[in-house]
A = this chain, B = another copy of it.
Amino acid sequence: MRIEIWSDVVCPWCYIGKRRLEEALAGFEHRDQVEVVWRSFQLDPSAPTVPTENVADMIGRKYGGGPDAARQMMSQVQQVASEVGLDFTRHADGLHLNTVDAHRLLHAAGDRRGDLKEAMLNAYFVEARNLADHDVLTELAVSVGLDADEARAVLSSDAHRAEVDADAAQAQAYGATGVPFFVVDATYGVSGAQPTEVFAQLLDQAWAARSPLTMVSAGAAPGCDGDECAI
C-alpha cells in the first residue's frame, strides 16, 4: 500500500499531520507493507530565495495587525503542535522563504527522502533555520547520510525541477488546493491535518478495499521461471 503525501517544508500543519499519520501507522497492523512517498508542494512559489523577513512580520504585514497579532495567532498552532510532541516556540522567527531548492534536494535524496523531509521540518519549525540557504540544506543532507558534494551539485543546478513540477501538476489533478494532502493507492484521499483517528480510518478503509489483481491478457505469454524460459 502506498501513501503519497503532498506537503511543503514550511507548512506547520504538514508537520503536525505527519506526526498524526505516524501515530496512526504505529497502530496499523500492516504497517510493514506501507510505503510513504513524499510529494512536493510549494505553498508560495513567489517567496524569496534570499529571505528578507520572518514569518510573523510577513503575516502581520500582509493581514494587518502587525507581528504581535501574528504571533498571537501562531501561538494557537504552537499549542496544537505541542500536543503531538513538537516544539514550535521558534516558528514565528522562521523566515518567509522559497522552498523549491529544498524540494529539488528531496527528490535527489533517494531512499533518504523521508529522513531528509523530517530533518528539514525540524530545522525549520523547531530551530528556525533558513531552508533556502544552500549551506543549511547541504548540512541537513549530510545529516541523513547524503554526500555533501552531490547535494551542492543538485542545489547549484536546476536538477529535479521537473519532478517538483510533476508533483504540483498531480496535486492539481487530484483537486488539492492546500496541504498536507494524503493519497493512498491513488484511490483514497485525506485533506488537511486530520485527527489521528481519521488517518487510522484511511489506512483501514484503503487496506480493506485492496483486491486481487485483475489480469489483462490474451492468453499465455512467454516468460522465465527460474532457469526455464518459455519459447
Contacts and interface: CB of A to CB of B under 8 A. Distances in A.
Interface of A: 1-2, 8, 11-14, 16-17, 43-44, 58-59, 62, 73, 76-77, 80, 107-108, 110-111, 147, 150, 160, 163, 174-175, 177-181, 183, 185-195, 197-198, 201-202, 205-206, 210-218, 220-227, 229-231
A63 B150 CA distance: 49
A226 B44 contact: yes
10 contacts: A11-B224, A12-B224, A14-B224, A43-B225, A147-B147, A175-B212, A190-B215, A190-B216, A192-B222, A194-B218
A131 B225 CA distance: 19
A62 B224 contact: no
A16 to B, nearest CB: 8
Given A191-B223, A222-B193, A73 B14 contact: no
A213 B183 contact: yes
Contacts of A177: 225
B223 A192 contact: yes
Given A76-B231, A229-B12, A191 B217 contact: yes
A19 B163 CA distance: 25
Nearest to A177: B225
A231 B225 CA distance: 57
Given A14-B224, A147-B147, A192-B220, 18 more contacts: A11-B223, A13-B230, A14-B223, A77-B231, A108-B111, A179-B223, A185-B185, A185-B186, A186-B210, A186-B213, A188-B214, A189-B214, A191-B223, A192-B222, A192-B230, A201-B216, A201-B218, A205-B216
